[in-house]
Amino acid sequence: MLDNTQIERLEAEAVNSAKTRQPLYAPRRKIFPKQASGSFRRFKWLVMAITLGIYYLTPWLRWDRGAFAPDQAVLLDLVNRRFYFFFIEIWPQEFYYVAGLLVMAGIGLFQITSTVGRAWCGYTCPQTVWVDLFLVVERAIEGDRNARMKLDAGPWTARKLVLRVSKHAIWLVIGAATGGAWIFYFADAPTLLGELFTGTAAPVAYITVAVLTATTYTFGGLMREQVCTYMCPWPRIQAAMLDESSLTVTYNDWRGEPRSRHAKKAQAAGKAIGDCVDCNACVAVCPMGIDIRDGQQLECITCALCIDACDGVMDKLGKERGLISYATLSDYNANMMLATAGGSSAVNPSLVRTADGLFSDSVAHFHIRKIFRPRTYVYMAMWGLIGLGLLYSLMTRDRLEINVLHDRNPQFVTLSDGSIRNGYTVKLLNMIPEPRTIIVTIGGLPGAEMSIVGVDLPADRSFAIQVEPDRLKMLKVFVRLPADAIHGEAQTFTLQVEDKASFESNEYTATFNTPEIAR
């Protein structure tokens, strides 16, 4: 166990602090985040491996859909206007599934933010993940914080040039891989990879890779925290989603202040000091370059690396972890009231401890039940209902559809024998990756018969039409009704479709128009 004075004090100053709040357009101050270690850092490594693994590997997963459909598990086939996601195939008119998923993602984000603050920013936002990855490269090449600061401040030498060129070259490779992975979601990945390297891919593929290489390199390598602070709207929006029961990364000054590196002197003088030894470890690891001890700040992405850094210091001092911790505002306020004797004095950390130095029973700690409150129940219910609705709709959706458009001009034609003919454009949708024989039948409208342009068969009430896999077939159909079968004004009837092999069927209710003279 170490004494306060034995904890190394790092020369780290927040880029924007309560003492020296910078104007919004102040020149950028470089940040050299120190490597953190601890449970949150390990969790972030895990999330990073999972998210990057999913992003880079997904286009290479295969999914057998038979001979008539692509075998890429996740594919946005813009040319044929299809979206494939494993066993699910979405047609353009089914875009509401995508809209539903986006709504669910939005509600999920509200849920997460109201519960654990900006966890999205701190762990899974692509900007955070790629900055983390770029920092891994930077540390591997240039060293940790002190070595990087020294290198940055030093003159340009052959070594510095080699290190910098190596770093930026690897960053560009990561950027290119990021752009490359993106375009593989829009075409058969192995084929496109071959085309990319043989120069035969479409120009838009090269342009997309170039744009994403540049943006990934610029945002992840060069701009880093600037993107979160100045470009992203989420830090501004999230304030409306937090409430006093939301968990956020908090400096618990009710046990930390006043800070001192000289505990023994303070004790000898009869002064109560807090747990913070003012070592700056929390500032040095912060990728946003801020000091969490200044309180909640727009820049804080709640990555929790300062918690790891401080917990390491507390371990060395033999004190309880959690001087910086995830805490709710209500718990923080309760503990602050305790430490200030109801707000009547400055923070006196001895008020939150018993005589033997342990936390008093009155100290509020986070409990998992605080996550479950009316607001989060509402989010959960909305999320679950939309999800169940989408799932039900997905499981029961039609894979055989018919759409009918009545000719507007002319609305009917009177033939020489007095019968009336109406024209229709009929679309048959075979939404499975197998060819089908679809039986098209007139339902109702007694006496009516139809003929199909291009089908060399006599008029009938039913036709068998071949439709290619996963395709829409457009037919020009004429329905003829003998004069003696016309009753009343416009009559409704159905055009029915049926696949006898799969027992699927569907129908469309259409109108048959007649002239005044025929009624």
Tell me which residues touch ligand SF4 (CB under 6 A): 249, 276-282, 285-286, 288, 290, 292-293, 300-306, 309-310, 313, 323-324
CB-CB contact of 118 with 298 (8 Å):
no
Measured in whole angstroms, the distance separating CA 443 from the mean position of its chain's CA atoms is: 47
Nearer CB in complex with ligand SF4: 174/292: 292
The distance of closest approach from Cβ of residue 131 to ligand SF4 in the complex, given in angstroms and rounded to an integer, is 11
178/131 Cα distance (integer angstroms): 13
Q: What angle do CA 323, 324, 326 make, to 5 degrees?
A: 120
Q: How far is the CB of 9 from ligand SF4 (least distance, A)?
A: 9
Report the nearest approach of ligand SF4 to the CB of residue 186 (Å): 34
Toward ligand SF4, which CB reaches closer, 3 or 94?
A: 3
> Going by DSSP bridges, is the β-strand pair 247-251/88-90 parallel, antiparallel, or unpaired?
unpaired
Nearest CA among 35, 242, 46 for reference residue 145: 35
CA distance 301 to 363: 27
Nearest to 459 by CA among 473, 478, 439: 478
288, two tokens = 């946003």
* 324 or 426: CB nearest ligand SF4: 324
Task: Please state the φ and ψ torsions of residue 317, each to the nearest 5 degrees.
Answer: -85, -10
Shortest spacing between CB 242 and ligand SF4, in angstroms? 14
Shortest distance in whole angstroms from residue 304 CB to ligand SF4: 5
DSSP 22-53: PPTTPPP----PPPP-SHHHHHHHHHHHHHHH
In the complex, least distance from residue 338 CB atom to ligand SF4, rounded to whole angstroms = 19
Q: Which is nearer to ligand SF4, 288 or 475 (CB)?
A: 288
Least distance from ligand SF4 to the Cβ atom of residue 376, Å: 22
Residue 410: cis peptide before it, omega within 30 degrees of 0? yes
Please name the residue that has the structure tokens 């829009």: 186
Distance (Å, rounded) from C-alpha 209 to C-alpha 176? 6
CA distance 332 to 325: 10
Q: Which is nearer to ligand SF4, 281 or 475 (CB)?
A: 281
Q: Which is nearer to ligand SF4, 292 or 402 (CB)?
A: 292
Which is nearer to ligand SF4, 303 or 429 (by Cβ)? 303
As a 3-state breakdown, the chain gives helix, strand, coil percent values, each rounded to 5, of 45, 20, 35
Q: Residues 327, 248: contact at Cβ < 8 Å?
A: yes
Q: To the nearest whole angstrom, how small is the minimum distance from the Cβ of residue 266 to ligand SF4?
A: 15
Q: How far is the CB of 207 from ligand SF4 (least distance, A)?
A: 35
Q: What's CA 212's distance to the chain center, in Å? A: 18
C-alpha span between 67 and 78 (Å, rounded)? 20
Considering beta carbons, is residue 2 or 57 the nearer one to ligand SF4? 2
Closest separation in Å from C-beta 311 to ligand SF4: 8
DSSP 124-190: I-HHHHHHHHHHHHHHHHH-SHHHHHHHHHSPP-HHHHHHHHHHHHHHHHHHHHHHHHHHGGGS-HH
The C-alpha atoms of residue 8 and residue 251 are separated, in whole angstroms, by 20
Of the pair 348, 419, the CB lying nearest ligand SF4 is at 348
Q: How far is the CB of 325 from ligand SF4 (least distance, A)?
A: 11
Tokens of 292: 């969490």
Our CB check for ligand SF4 shows the closer of 2 and 61 to be 2
Q: How far is the CB of 316 from ligand SF4 (least distance, A)?
A: 10
Decide whether 290 or 402 has the Cβ nearer to ligand SF4. 290
Report the residue number, 126 or 482, with the smaller CB distance to ligand SF4.
Answer: 126
From CA 128, how far away is CA 45, in angstroms rounded? 12
